[in-house]
């Protein structure tokens, strides 16, 4: 089954560390994939783009990807 970016759970939080001050997004099942933005919406958009690229790259190279945990996936 081919998975899409929307199948994965994403967590977004505020990083108030000095020098960061941004929203950070991370894919729960694939924690190496992270993105950031000045707003929650920007971080959400960026993580979906990063996840889409990662899924495409994995498919192109025959690399297995983590299974989504979400029930509808």
3-26, pLDDT tens digit by residue?
Answer: 899 999 999 999 988 988 999 999
Residue 47 reports pLDDT greater than 70:
yes
In the chain, the percentage of residues whose pLDDT exceeds 90 is 84
Q: For the chain, how many structural domains are there in total? A: 1
Per the document, the length of the chain is 73
Q: Which residues pair with 22 in a beta bridge?
A: 15
CA 73 to CA 69: how far, in whole Å? 7
Under the banding of pLDDT at 50, 70 and 90, the label for residue 71 is: low
Residue 62 reports pLDDT greater than 90:
yes
- Is residue 65 in a domain? no
What is the reported pTM?
0.88
Hunting for tokens 């498919």 — which residue is that? 59
- Is residue 70 in a domain? no
Residue numbers of the domain that contains 46: 5-15+22-60
- Is residue 73 in a domain? no
Q: Which two tokens stand for residue 30?
A: 């694939």
């Amino acid at each position: 089954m081919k998975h899409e970016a929307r199948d994965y759970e994403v967590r977004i939080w505020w990083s108030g560390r000095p020098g960061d001050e941004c929203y950070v997004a991370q894919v729960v099942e694939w924690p190496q994939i992270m993105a950031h933005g000045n707003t929650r919406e920007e971080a959400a958009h960026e993580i979906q783009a990063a996840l889409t690229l990662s899924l495409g790259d994995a498919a192109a190279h025959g690399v297995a990807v983590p299974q989504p945990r979400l029930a509808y996936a």
